Amino acid sequence: MNQLFDLNGKVIVVTGATGILAGGAAKYLQQNGAKVIYLGRNQERVDKAISEANEISQDCMGLTCDVLDERGLKEGYEAVLSRFGRIDALINGAGGNMPGATIGPDKEIFDLDLDDYAKVMDLNLKGTVIPTLTFAQAFKEQKSGCVINFSSMSSTQALTRVLGYSNAKAAIDNFTRWMATEMASKYGDGIRVNAVAPGFFISKQNKALLTNEDGSFTERGQQVINKTPFRRFGKQEEIYGAIHYLISDSSSFVTGTVLAVDGGFSCFCGV
Ligand SMILES: NC(=O)c1ccc[n+]([C@@H]2O[C@H](COP(=O)([O-])OP(=O)(O)OC[C@H]3O[C@@H](n4cnc5c(N)ncnc54)[C@H](O)[C@@H]3O)[C@@H](O)[C@H]2O)c1
């Protein structure tokens, strides 16, 4: 029974690995015996992540690539296979928002910048689909492997302002179910595709939106807290357990799910 949560030797590719949630999870997985590939688009940040990762173990690798760059991902895929010989999991952690794709308090709904909207859709949706179609090819040969996508609270509930991001995350839920079904139907029950849906965790992207410089909540931060029964934001490390579970054999009959890690945000109507 102790083997259920074993991660030893698993080869795990992590996109967005220079960011808060996926980056923290990547290190956690490596500390628990996994061989981790840190994929990020900024060379300097990938170098920094790898120099820290090397202190955990030498079984790690950096890949500098945009998640929308099909060719770069393909080269990365070949590089991972040539070094490690297999891939056990892909974590699609790259994602985010941009101001033009949101409707700020000073804007009309009709002011939406469609170029920014398209960029946010591309980053969050295609930026998950393309890496999955690239790295999950290994799963077909192996007849095993798993994908973990990043959804959001905004995928099933309307969250004010963030139109493009919400649309893309809703599509991620759909892609998770679709890919789970297709992979299992075609290649068997060793391949699983799931998602985590974080509630509100402080990241570089949302820090100024949710908290003031003195650490108190902004008006929007307070609105989030009011709808979170735990009355706090998530801590980075509180996402690691869900990811560990979904990668490990303990979830061998779990596919196509979106697992909320949210302090109760999604089950509470706010009143
Ligand atoms: N923090 C939260 O509260 C929260 C809530 C719900 C969902 N999420 C999702 O969790 C995931 C991780 O978010 P985070 O909070 O750690 O944010 P983060 O900004 O710290 O991490 C996102 C990472 O994605 C990378 N990235 C962006 N565009 C890229 C591209 N084109 N190619 C390659 N990499 C790219 C960034 O460089 C960054 O390292 C994202 O998908 C985000 O949407 C976060």
Averaged pLDDT score across all residues of the chain: 97
Q: Which atom of ligand 1 is nearest to the CA of 94?
A: 24
Q: Are residues 116 and 189 in the same domain?
A: yes
Judged against a pLDDT cut of 90, whether residue 106 lies above it is answered with no
**Is position 79 within any domain?**
yes
Residues 136 and 182 in one domain: yes
Are 84 and 126 members of one domain?
yes
Cα torsion through 135, 140, 146, 147, rounded to 10: 40
Q: Find the mean pLDDT for residues 246-251.
A: 98
The reply to whether ligand 1 has any atom less than 6 angstroms from the CB of 263 is no
Distance CA 89, CA 11 (A): 7
Q: Is residue 266 part of a domain?
A: no
pLDDT, tens only, 113-156: 999 999 999 999 999 999 999 999 999 999 999 999 999 999 99
Same domain, 140 and 227: no
Residue 41 in contact with ligand 1 by CB distance below 6 A: yes
Question: Do 114 and 222 fall within a single domain?
Answer: no
Distances from the Cα of 222 to the Cα of 22, 70, 115, 249, 266, angstroms:
25, 40, 31, 39, 16
Within a domain: 157: yes
pLDDT at 80 (0 to 100) = 98
Task: For residue 143, tell me if it sits in a domain.
Answer: yes
Domain-located, residue 193: yes
pLDDT tens figures, 15-43 = 999 999 999 999 999 999 999 999 999 99
Question: From the candidates 165, 187, 240, 245, which is the catalytic residue?
Answer: 165
Q: In which domain, by residue range, is 218 found?
A: 204-233
- Does 182 share its domain with 212? no
Whether residue 224 sits in one domain with residue 242:
no
Report pLDDT for 137. 98
The reply to whether 136 and 252 lie within a common domain is yes
Task: Give yes or no: residues 47 and 67 share one domain.
Answer: yes
- Same domain for 121 and 16: yes
Percent over 90 (pLDDT), the chain: 94
Does 2 score more than 80 pLDDT? no
Q: Are residues 104 and 208 in the same domain?
A: no
In this prediction, residue 104 carries a pLDDT of: 87
Is residue 269 assigned to a domain?
no
With a 6 Å cutoff on the Cβ, whether 123 touches ligand 1 is yes
Alpha helix locations (H) across the chain?
21-31, 43-56, 70-84, 114-121, 127-135, 137-142, 163-187, 207-210, 219-226, 240-247
CB 138 within 8 A of CB 73: no
Distance 23 CA to ligand 1 centre (A): 9
pTM of the complete model: 0.98
pLDDT bracket for residue 203 (50, 70, 90): confident
Q: Are residues 74 and 160 in the same domain?
A: yes
What per-residue confidence (pLDDT) applies to 76?
98
Asked if residue 131 has its Cβ within 6 Å of ligand 1, the reply is no
Asked, for residue 12, whether it belongs to a domain, the answer is yes
Q: Structurally, how many domains does the chain consist of?
A: 2
CA of 17 to the centre of ligand 1 (A): 9
Nearest residue (by CA) to ligand 1, atom 35, is 94
How remote is the CA of residue 267 from the centroid of ligand 1, in Å?
24
Share of the chain above pLDDT 70, in %: 99
- At residue 17, φ and ψ (nearest 5 deg) are -75, 0
Minimal-distance CA residue to ligand 1 atom 40: 95
Distance 131 CA to ligand 1 centre (A): 15
| CATH code at position 170 | 3.40.50.720
Give yes or no: 165 in active site: yes
Q: How confident is the model at residue 227 (pLDDT cuts 50, 70, 90)?
A: very high
- 268 belongs to a structural domain: no
